Chain A
Amino acid sequence: MFSRVFLQLVATACLFVGVSSSVWAETAINDELLMAKKPAKKLADYGLFLDEAARQPMTRVISYELNNPLFTDYSLKYRFIYIPRNAGGAPYDETDVLAFPVGSVLGKTFAYPNDFRSPDKDIRFIETRLLIHKQSGWKAYPYVWNDAQTEAKLKVAGKRKSIPVIWKDGTQSSIDYAVPNMNQCKGCHVTSNKKLAPIGPKIRNLNRDHSSGDAVFQNQVSYLRDIGFIQGGPKQPSKMPRVPEPLNVESGSLFKRARSYLDGNCAHCHAPGRPADTSGLYLNYEEKREVHWGVNKHPVAAGRGAGGLRVDIKPGQPEKSILFYRMKSTDPGIMMPELGRSTVHLEGVDLIGKFITELK
């Protein structure tokens, strides 16, 4: 937990510094480069971090977390957001992704500990993905870290990396990690009008405690509002929508947690107007029509992904449900999601298995 705590403290500290008087740190962020037509070759060029290892964020680079994050081969994810001073904030919005202003940067660093039995130690950064809101719209750039952890370089065509890990049970294996290319970023981050856009930062995903280690600061949305990153909306967190944390049993009913999981892991494609709407399977949290979220729905173009099964969700029978079958597979022609996964999310499979078993 150490690095996280540290990261948070630095972020908070920097914030206070920034808010109070000093502007030394914030001038170091290269807004001009962020807005340039061509992306920087190295992550460090943007000046979003104080140090070359990108452990210490600059002023106004704020870390945040989501209620229902996407599973990516058990990688740790450090999310951060930057909005330049005077750029304004995102207006509060109940349902859609927050509309962060031009100049904003959403970042996510994917990392692995050497050993999952002590997940806070020896953390290796693999890649840092940036979504930058330029004048011409959002752009996505993956930066891949070197083994020495001193430099992250732009890789437009993506990259494969073999990452040795020790799992919680002490077994060792290698993850065949795929850094997405810029088009693959768009494969998920695309709107119905074919524009690139963020997926995660919706109020319902952000509505949680903004915590760090043992210390709970305050509600994350309230915090982002206090610093001007979000504007307007109800003051009380209970008045804002929230999706439960899928794997936290105290967070909501099994049904809601499962729908939250499917929302976080599938709905970036499986929702109306999204890349997989060709299938008619819509797994976004709001979808109310049973057949559209999979109940007794026949596949259209699933190919061998159907696994000999007839419907996406067969109530009471996970083993007869295509959705469950595809979550359990690691074969590229079968598995779902298509990208960002080479291992099975056992806890997710378990959750969805229970959910389908309970359905009537």
Chain B
Amino acid sequence: MRFLAKKLTSICTLYVIIFANLSSAIAGSDYVILPGDDAQEKIQEALILAEPGDQIELGAGVFKLTDGLSLDVDNVTLIGQGMYKTVLSFKGQKSGSEGLLVTSDQVVLKDFAVEDTKGDAVKIKGVDGIAMIRLRAEWTDGPKPTNGAYGLYPVQSKNVYIDGCVAIGASDAGIYVGQSDKIIVRNSRGEYNVAGLEIENSFNADVFDNVLTHNTGGLLVFDLPNLPQQGGHNVRFFRNKSIDNDTPNFAPEGNIVGIVPRGTGMIVMANENVEIFDNEFSGNDTMNIAVASYVDDFDDETYEPTPKKIHIHNNIFGKSGQKPDTGEFGTIVHETVGTPVPDIVWDGVLPLMDYIFFGQADEDKLAIHDNKHLAGVRPFGNANMIMHVIAPIFHKAKFDILPYQKSYPSLPEVEVIIRGRPAAELMN
């Protein structure tokens, strides 16, 4: 009920925004395109012929599209009448592995929806400056493995700004920022995705005031091997709500995100310098936060699979970890740390020499302090998974939080500059 009420308020707010925009958007557009039979050609032609500085406006209604759209002109604004009014529907898509692809710098995408693409909904590749404002990416038939992988998908980009967006039904991540630098994701919502919001192989990201609910996992920060950019670091997650994530994992098999257990508030995998504070985690069936090493074998000498300097403080943890997922990851969590699962679980995996002799270096250790654990479950568990795998009879999880009660200096705020000014100014 509480959630329904919230959804209603957010929809109401949206309508206010839409009406505010209707008046302002009409004036000054260089192209105005309305739904109709030739919409595919009209939109694509505008996206090609636009000059830097142009605004392309999409009218209200459903645009039925058969092929992926793409934009490769710098400094163009593509604007609709609102994320529930202007809908680019790709239900009949015949080609293109995404709905909209942007490969140019300083682009602003605003106030429209991209629905039912065969692959990703909106992909941004290799740009400096991209703002996605009040966009909706959705697969309208609910969670299905045949849905596209990513909703909003900036990759290999710099100055990435996502604000007020909604992503629903992605078979990988609703909002996914990969191999990028200088990132803000705020005021956005992810529902019924495998991963609600994921930051992968990225540097300098601020993720705040987002709501992730009814996904398989809410927030993910991963670092993977064998990629052009790796060594993810300096990522802050604050004032987010990752609550009631309860959708069974529906990722197509073979995808790394397939490991996420149903009902995970957050997973930190590999990465260095991740600060997690002032968030709310609750109602997550398997666990609130997992901190883990990269799990697959890899062939990459430069890759660092162990998470370092992960700093978790001042969060609120509600009731979670009551019904762990029965998949591989969920089972091992439940077998090692028991049910109910502690609020913060570390897999305890270190390079073997460190594991046996030295332990993790002090300056890299997990730091945990000043969190509120409301449900009375154990605040922390070290799953000690290496022992669980090599000698199960000697395996014992550790629940002592004292060795981790330390702190790191706060990470700096991330500044995203688009069109020469702080990206938040592009909201209106």
Partner-B contacts on A (CB < 8 A): 156-158, 160, 176, 178, 181-184, 186-187, 190, 194, 272, 275, 277-280, 290-292, 296-310, 322, 331-333, 338-339, 342
Contact = CB atoms under 8 A, between A and B. Distances in A.
A102 to B, nearest CB: 22
A300 B155 CA distance: 12
A301 B172 contact: yes
B224 interface: yes
The 6 closest A-B pairs by CB, nearest first: A303-B149, A306-B254, A308-B253, A333-B118, A183-B70, A304-B252
Contact of B96 (A277, A291, A332): A332
Contacts of A275: 125
B47 A183 contact: yes
A312 to B, nearest CB: 10
A160 B72 contact: no
24 contacts: A157-B40, A158-B67, A160-B94, A181-B48, A181-B70, A182-B48, A183-B44, A194-B103, A275-B125, A278-B156, A292-B226, A296-B299, A297-B226, A298-B296, A303-B149, A303-B171, A303-B252, A304-B145, A304-B149, A307-B254, A308-B253, A322-B254, A333-B118, A339-B96
Contacts of B256: 298-300
B94 A278 contact: no
Contact of B252 (A290, A307, A338): A307
B283 interface: no
B327 interface: no
B410 interface: no
B94 to A, nearest CB: 6
B70 A184 contact: yes
B12 interface: no
A187 B68 CA distance: 12
Nearest to B97: A338
B109 to A, nearest CB: 15
Nearest to A338: B97
Interface in B45-92: 45, 47-49, 66-67, 70-72
Interface string B395-423: 00000000000000000000000000000
B13 interface: no
B155 A278 contact: yes
A275 B120 CA distance: 15
Nearest to A192: B126
Contacts of A304: 145-149, 171, 252
A190 B255 CA distance: 28
Nearest to A181: B44
Contacts of A290: 299
Interface in B328-372: none
B97 A332 contact: yes
Contact of A300 (B120, B156, B224): B224
A160 B66 contact: yes
A280 B223 CA distance: 13
Given A300-B224, A302-B255, A303-B255, A157 B41 contact: yes
A278 B149 CA distance: 15
Interface string B14-46: 000000000000000000000000001110110
A156 B45 contact: yes
A334 to B, nearest CB: 8
B254 A156 contact: no
A278 B125 contact: yes
B307 interface: no
B72 A183 contact: yes
B224 to A, nearest CB: 6
Contacts of B253: 306-310
Contacts of A194: 103, 126
Given A176-B94, A309-B253, A302 B149 contact: yes
Contacts of A309: 253-254
Given A157-B40, A302-B254, A332-B96, 18 more contacts: A160-B66, A178-B67, A183-B47, A183-B103, A278-B155, A278-B227, A279-B227, A280-B228, A300-B227, A301-B172, A303-B149, A304-B148, A309-B254, A331-B118, A332-B95, A332-B118, A333-B119, A338-B95
Given A160-B67, A303-B150, A278 B179 contact: yes
Contacts of B42: 157
Interface in B183-221: none
Contact of B254 (A292, A296, A299): A299
Contact of B119 (A303, A308, A342): A303
A338 B126 CA distance: 18
A113 B179 CA distance: 45
B420 to A, nearest CB: 20
Contacts of B149: 301-305
B227 A303 contact: no
B93 A332 contact: yes
B141 interface: no
B178 interface: yes
Interface string B251-294: 01111100000000000000000000000000000000000000
B300 interface: yes
Interface in B132-150: 145-150
A338 B172 CA distance: 19
A299 B298 CA distance: 12
Contacts of B71: 183
Interface string B223-241: 0101110000000000000
